[in-house]
Amino acid sequence: MSYKHLLFGLFLFIGAVSTAQDQGEFTQLFDKDGEKVEFDALIDDIQDAQIILFGELHGVAATHNMEQKLAQKLFETRGDRLILGGEMWEFDQQIIVNEYVSGLITDKQFINDGRLWPNFSRDYQAFIDVARNNNLPFVATNIPRRYASVVYYEGPDKLLEFEKATQKLLPKLPFTFDEDLPIYAEIADQVGGHGTKYLAAAQAIKDATMAMYILNNTKKKNTFLHIHGEYHSKEFQGIYNYIAQEKSKWKVVSISCVMQKDIEKLEDDNLSRANYIFAVKEQPEKADNDSVEEHNPHK
């Protein structure tokens, strides 16, 4: 089985890169213009950002290793001003996330009761443990799947039927979004018509919710490193767009992860995809036979 990578709200299959193949000749960091960048230069640039949006490739070990590396290095430079969080945790999981990060519950309890992605131990534990080991806040930002599912099947106006206490936890209702943004305008075409007419709305409300919880937990003095699927912030759209609308004067840095056959040069299609592009060399071998399933908005 191959790893499942969410693109345009549905599952596509991508090859995974083994943990041993995440450095040197197998990865390369570029700026938006395609110039090669050293890791230390990246840190120098982003450590004064209020928000860093890291768009990963789900199940690709090199991108998960980079997430942990960024978090650890930013802690060294930003200390307790650093905040971590990610798409992989929904906002109603915040209590158990707090219990885990505070050391009040064990790894086993967190895994058993936390509604975690099946690849948590392999791909995300090292990231959240930077917060756990250094007494940093960790924010669960994503919309719970049940609400995204309601939007996917019945449209965003259905959320108006939920009680007021629930509505206050969601982006402003009635929920609207810019249907002309390329990532939303293209979405039906990209999935080949497999999906309801509300597919783009389900994607947009995920982006809006993540942006909302990032902003609700960030002050100007902070640096929030947020991880999510690359599609949620590529080309300065999605989460990035929602944040920019609210905090146009903040420094928001996006990092996109891409796969290329040759990583010596950034492919034209990947130029200007983000402030920085982390290219991973495609490999024919799979890391193992496990499957990675992201929370599809209509499942």
* Cα(100)–Cα(290) distance, integer angstroms: 25
Residue 115: C-alpha distances to residues 96, 128, 129 (Å): 10, 15, 17
- The answer as to whether 31 is a domain residue is yes
The predicted model gives 269-278 an average pLDDT of 98
What pLDDT score does 25 carry? 77
**pLDDT reported for residue 15:** 34
Average pLDDT, the chain: 89
Question: Cβ(117)–Cβ(294) under 8 Å?
Answer: yes
- pLDDT at 11 exceeding the cut of 70: no
252 within some domain: yes
Q: Could you tell me if residue 297 is inside a domain?
A: no
Whether 116 is covered by a domain: the verdict is: yes
Interatomic CA distance for residues 289 and 28, integer angstroms: 26
- What is the CATH classification number for the domain harbouring 143? 3.40.50.11550
In a domain, 294, yes or no: no
Q: Domain of 95?
A: 3-281
Identify the pLDDT of residue 291.
Answer: 35
54, 228 contact by CB (below 8 A): yes
Strand-pair partners of 115:
none
Q: Report pLDDT for 186.
A: 86
The verdict on residue 290 lying in a domain is no
Please report whether residue 293 resides in a domain: no
Q: What is the pTM of this model?
A: 0.89
Q: Tens of pLDDT along 149-199?
A: 999 999 999 999 999 999 999 999 999 999 999 999 888 677 656 778 999
Residue 242's pLDDT band, with cuts at 50, 70 and 90, is: very high
Residue 289 lies inside a defined structural domain of this protein: no
Number of domains in the chain: 1
Give the CA count within 13 Å in the CB-facing half-sphere of 7: 15
